[in-house]
Amino acid sequence: MKRIIYISTVNRQLSEEEIESIGQISARNNRGVGITGVLISVHDYFFQVLEGEEEAIAQVIGRIRRDPRHKDMHILKAENEISERLFPKWSMRTIRLAGSGDMILQAIRDMLQNIAQSHRIIERYTQPSVLKFLTDGINPLSVPPRKTDKIVLFCDMVGFSYLSDLFPVEQVAEVVNAFLEVCSTTIAEHGGVVAKYVGDCAIAYFEQNQADESIAACLDVLRRVGDMRRDTHECHLMKFLYCGFGVAAGTVIEGNFGSSVKMDFTVLGGTVNMAARLEALTRQIAKPLALSESVIENARQNWSFVHVGDFQLKGAGKPCPVYTLDDPLMNDFKDHEHLVDEMRQACGEKCEGTMFG
Ligand SMILES: Cc1cc2nc3c(=O)[nH]c(=O)nc-3n(C[C@H](O)[C@H](O)[C@H](O)COP(=O)(O)O)c2cc1C
């Protein structure tokens, strides 16, 4: 059996009849599939415990998630293989706070509000893969390391350290956040997982059969970054946002790596190093995308790959063939020197007396 405890917030003010109807439907449905638990409606929050067979819980949770009457569902706890029910019956309690002078109820509402807020914050700092384990009822710390095949992607901004010293700190923060937002949402849209950020660099991975998706994600990020540059006025750091991608496919070790103070669920190994080296190589080949031969071999779509040369990458025994694409987006790249020239031209005169004067 499985037990799930979650908290959510109403999407709009619900009438007493609506809340009552949720209770009635839940009671009827849950009885039919052997689910017990409790649903508490406190002002604008719901707190629910559901216990039952795994399959039945998965179905009900799926329906509850899609219910437009509430949002921001945070799973507080998920436990698999429980042997005993904490709530052998199904019950629901609605606590109305409007006009209630009851300090205890007020305290319960504040507590739910605080839990929801803390979870919203913690979820944004937590890796999606770790969250997934938690909501599936798996303790991520108990997941053993394993060797697996992945496609690893490194992506970062060109000349970031140099540029970050020249522009106001607010612009630096704005551009790094905008860049990581575009990388992360685009990679997720294509089915990849962002493992972590290291400064302005995003490290992500895809499954071995997702070579095409990983390449498509790089092209989409380049397109979106190009749009961001075009939509920016001349003397803003965003105008000089260019990025490079290194993508490699192969075996990695996936697991928990870290210390008693901080833990990462991430990937390590030669393929990860290779992706990092390829990303650095984009500066040398003056193209925003450098792919390993293994990515080409895994791709199924008819991409126009171009062999840019064989390079001795640190950590590799022999020179590695490196590829890019024959695509207009591959011209969307400035190496450090050209970027600095362009910036001085664009900003130097207009911003005289500033850091470019
Ligand atoms: C906070 C909240 C909790 C709910 N809990 C349950 C529940 O425990 N069981 C259930 O069947 N439906 C529950 N619902 C309702 C479902 O989202 C969905 O409307 C309902 O299951 C559809 O049932 P029907 O197909 O029988 O109309 C809940 C809805 C909300 C907003």
322-352 pLDDT per residue, tens: 999 999 999 988 888 888 888 888 776 555 4
0.85 cut: is pTM over it?
no
In the prediction, which pLDDT does 163 show? 86
Instruction: Round to whole Å and give the CA distance between 135 and 124.
Output: 15
- Using the atom order of ligand 1, give the atom closest to the CA of residue 69: 31
- Residue-wise DSSP of 295-334: HHHH--S---EEEEEEE--TT-SS-EEEEEE-SGGGG---
92-134 pLDDT per residue, tens: 666 665 556 778 878 888 899 999 999 989 888 888 889 889 8
Average pLDDT on 194-221 reads: 96
Instruction: Kindly report the CATH number that applies to the domain delimited by 142-347.
Output: 3.30.70.1230
Q: Whose C-alpha lies nearest to ligand 1, atom 6?
A: 26
| Residue 22 CB–ligand 1 contact under 6 Å | yes
Q: Whose C-alpha lies nearest to ligand 1, atom 12?
A: 26
Fold of 2-125: Alpha-Beta Plaits (3.30.70)
Q: CB neighbours (10 Å) of residue 235?
A: 17
DSSP state of 43: T
* Helix, strand or coil, per DSSP, at residue 57: helix
- Residue-wise DSSP of 205-269: EEEGGGHHHHHHHHHHHHHHHHHHHHTS-TTSGGGG--EEEEEEEEEEEEEEEE-SS-EEEEEES
Query: Band of the pLDDT at 89, cuts 50, 70, 90?
Result: confident
* Residue ranges of the chain assigned to CATH 3.30.70.1230: 142-347
Instruction: Write out the two tokens for 114.
Output: 């605080």
Q: CB neighbours (10 Å) of residue 174?
A: 15
Q: Is 230 left (phi over 0), alpha (psi -120 to 50) or beta?
A: alpha
Rounded to the nearest whole angstrom, what is the distance from the C-alpha of residue 63 to the centroid of ligand 1? 6
In the prediction, which pLDDT does 91 show? 77
In the prediction, which pLDDT does 354 show? 47
Mutate which of 18, 24, 26, 39 for ligand 1? The one with the most ligand atoms within 8 Å of its CB, which is 26
Going by C-alpha positions, the residue among 245, 243, 215, 246 that lies closest to residue 229 is 243
Mutate which of 50, 63, 66 for ligand 1? The one with the most ligand atoms within 8 Å of its CB, which is 63
* Residue ranges of the chain assigned to CATH 3.30.70.100: 2-125
222-246 pLDDT per residue, tens: 999 999 999 988 788 999 999 999 9
